[in-house]
A and B are shown apart, each in its own frame.
Chain A
Amino acid sequence: MSAPIRVVLNGAPREFPDPLTVSQLLDELALAGRRLAVERNGEIVPRSRFGEARLADGDRIEVVIAVGGG
């Protein structure tokens, strides 16, 4: 049995019932296929590793996009 994991996602606490990969996280958030970038605990998670990179309890996750700016 796997325990639920708690992460901080874009600055807000978030809980998932099971451990999950970055790909599964993006599916869960309906963000799969979007042009975005992911950072875990201050380190870039390359897109090529979304399928294998697994979130751990206590991770701080940032999911960013490009927006209008000067």
Chain B
Amino acid sequence: MNAPEKIAAEDALVVAGKPYRSRLLVGTGKYRDFDETRRAIEASGAEIVTVAIRRTNIGQNPGEPSLLEVLPPSRYTILPNTAGCYTADDAVRTLRLARELLDGHALVKLEVLGDAQSLYPNMPETLAAAKTLVAEGFEVMAYCSDDPIMAKQLEEIGCVAVMPLASLIGSGMGILNPWNLQIIIDRVKVPVLVDAGIGTASDASIAMELGCDGVLMNTAIAKAREPVRMARAMKLAVDAGREAFLAGRMPKKPYEASPSSPQSGLITATRKTG
């Protein structure tokens, strides 16, 4: 076992009692085709991948391959989401269907949206849906606002992870309020994953350096010029950020420079003082 693998084995992300080596979770939307989806997800190293639940196209292309043939549940932990739901009732219905679709699988991503322009989470509906789902035995990872009180309430309801946004879904604007994320990380005991808003690799590293337990992204990979290469970049960024967090960064010293090379033994003449 080489060093990075050893570190990964010792530093698992544990969600609902199950360990995962990868702290990068990825969505499966917006790719050109299933082949690109498969290659990007392989390159990302992700073990947990999100899918959406939608009506079948009745009578169209009966022979076409399905997403779950490309990403078999035997290999990946499939995380069904409630993207597109605007009420607690719709989200709960969607996840009951997902559980049936995935043979009783309990781990789900809850997101209840507030409006179609911002895709900002509707927290009252999210809390209501979380209560119902937890009571029905679901393991709920909840997309939420970066409000520490909301995150805490989701934890108290019994969610297995809270997933505050870094910025709007699909915006690629990065981490706009690291201070709120830090409060959530400090106060919530279940895993905290940044979900939404990551634009490029450094955003993912910053999230991990803050102490997030993981990062969930879709568009940052799927809409990069080269999605497979960006998937690899994100894997490296998440690993690097996690390692930096564990290593503990040096203190910031804004008014004091400190040379890295020895100050004695210089060949230049000693400056006369006075």
Contacts and interface: CB of A to CB of B under 8 A. Distances in A.
Contact of A63 (B31, B58, B62): B58
Nearest to B34: A68
A1 interface: no
A17 interface: no
A67 B52 contact: yes
A67 B62 contact: no
A7 B14 CA distance: 45
A35 to B, nearest CB: 5
Interface stretch (B91-99, B225-233, B253-261): B91-99
Interface in B22-63: 27-31, 37, 50-56, 58-59, 62
Contacts of A12: 58
Contacts of B55: 10-11, 62-64
A30 interface: yes
Counting contact residues on chain A (CB < 8 A from B), the size range is 20 to 34
Contacts of A42: 93
Contact of A37 (B62, B81, B101): B101
- Which of B50, B100, B170 has the most chain A CB atoms closer than 10 A to its own CB? B100
Contacts, number: 103
A3 interface: no
Prevailing SS type, chain B contact patch: mixed
A9 interface: yes
Nearest to A29: B58
A39 interface: yes
B101 A65 contact: yes
A20 B141 CA distance: 38
A31 interface: yes
A44 interface: yes
B101 A66 contact: yes
Contacts of A34: 56, 66
A12 B50 CA distance: 28
Contacts of A39: 93, 96-97
Contact of B100 (A44, A69, A70): A44
Interface string A32-70: 001111110010101100000000000000111111111
Given A10-B58, A34-B66, A35-B68, A66 B52 contact: yes
Interface of A: 9-12, 29-31, 34-39, 42, 44, 46-47, 62-70
Interface of B: 27-31, 37, 50-56, 58-59, 62, 66-68, 78, 80-81, 83, 93, 96-98, 100-102, 169-170, 196, 216-219
17 contacts: A29-B58, A29-B62, A31-B56, A34-B66, A37-B97, A37-B101, A44-B96, A47-B100, A62-B55, A64-B53, A65-B53, A67-B29, A67-B53, A68-B37, A69-B28, A70-B30, A70-B83
Given A70-B28, A70-B216, 10 more contacts: A10-B56, A29-B58, A35-B101, A36-B101, A37-B97, A42-B93, A64-B54, A64-B55, A65-B54, A66-B68
